[in-house]
Each structure stands twice: as C-alpha cells, then as structure tokens.
C-alpha cells in the first residue's frame, strides 16, 4: 500500500459559507449524516445568528448522500430564520435526495430551486 497524499473526504469541511447582498449561501459537500450535520449546523447557525440574512440558501449541489439528518438540518434552519422573518431557499438538491425531502413535507416549508453553480468570478 502506498501513501495517498489526498485528504480523506471526512477531513474536508462539509460546508462553505458565502455572504453577499444580505444572502447567506451555504455550499454543502459530501455526505450529510448525524456526524457531519452537527458541524454544518454549527457553522451555519453561528454566522446566520450574527448577520440575520434576508435569505439563507442551502445549496446541496455537492451532496452525494443524505439521511434523515439532512431533513433535520433543513427544518432547523427554517425555524432559525423565522426568528427574523428570513427566507430559506434549498437549491440544487440532487434528484435522488428530492424524494426524501418531499416525503418529509419540506417542499411546503421552503422554496426549492435549481440554479447553475456560480463562482464569484462568474460575475
């Protein structure tokens, strides 16, 4: 067995946050399970409570797997943003995960959309 210089997937941060024009976007990566959901929740909540964005966008474009912890993650952020009348937008949910959130009734609580993934350099 040789040394693999690449970090293991679980060593990568599962969320990257961007704030622009009162919109906080959480770019989610990898697998969302009970272990990673806690880290994601803490990162999002810490920033969201500080800046109280008009919109919180949860971008699932980089998520390969999600269990019920992902449903809890979305639901909890819906409740959080209600504290300041913010809006939750769930975007780029992979088709295989859409069924989970639909069965949980989240499509009635949040706005769902598909958006091309853009970088700051795209503007």
How is residue 56 written in tokens? Answer: 């919180």
In terms of phi and psi (left: phi > 0; alpha: psi -120 to 50; beta: otherwise), the region of 84 is alpha
Ordered DSSP codes for 28-83: EEEEESHHHHHHHHHHHHHHHHHH--SEEEEEEEEEEEE-HHHHHHHHHHHHHHHT
Asked whether residue 73 is assigned to any structural domain, the reply reads yes
The answer to whether the beta carbons of residues 74 and 101 sit under 8 Å apart is yes
Asked whether residue 43 is assigned to any structural domain, the reply reads yes
pLDDT means per 10 residues, the chain with 123 residues, are: 44 88 97 96 97 98 95 96 96 92 89 74 45
Asked whether residue 3 is assigned to any structural domain, the reply reads no
CB within 8 Å of 96: residues ≥ 6 apart: none
Asked whether residue 6 is assigned to any structural domain, the reply reads no
Asked whether residue 119 is assigned to any structural domain, the reply reads no
Give the full edge-to-edge strand order of the sheet including 23-32. Answer: 15-20, 23-32, 55-66, 87-91, 111-113
Q: What is the pLDDT of residue 117?
A: 58
pTM of the prediction? 0.84
Asked whether residue 74 is assigned to any structural domain, the reply reads yes
Domain range for residue 21?
Answer: 13-114
The answer to whether the beta carbons of residues 87 and 54 sit under 8 Å apart is yes
Could you give the number of structural domains in the chain? 1
Which CATH number fits the domain that encloses residue 38? 3.30.750.24
Asked whether residue 101 is assigned to any structural domain, the reply reads yes
Q: What is the pLDDT of residue 107?
A: 87
How is residue 80 written in tokens? Answer: 């959080």
Asked whether residue 7 is assigned to any structural domain, the reply reads no
């Amino acid at each position: 067995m040789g040394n693999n210089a690449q970090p293991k997937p679980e060593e990568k941060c599962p969320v990257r946050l961007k704030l622009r024009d009162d919109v906080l976007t959480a770019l989610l990566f990898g697998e969302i399970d009970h272990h990673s959901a806690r880290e994601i929740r803490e990162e999002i909540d810490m920033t969201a409570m500080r800046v109280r964005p008009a919109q919180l966008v949860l971008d699932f474009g980089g998520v390969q797997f999600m269990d019920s912890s992902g449903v809890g993650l979305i639901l909890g952020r819906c409740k959080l943003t209600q504290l300041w009348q913010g809006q939750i937008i769930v975007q780029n949910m992979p088709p295989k995960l859409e069924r989970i959130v639909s069965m949980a009734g989240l499509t009635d609580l949040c706005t769902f959309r598909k958006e091309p993934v853009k970088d700051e350099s795209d503007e």
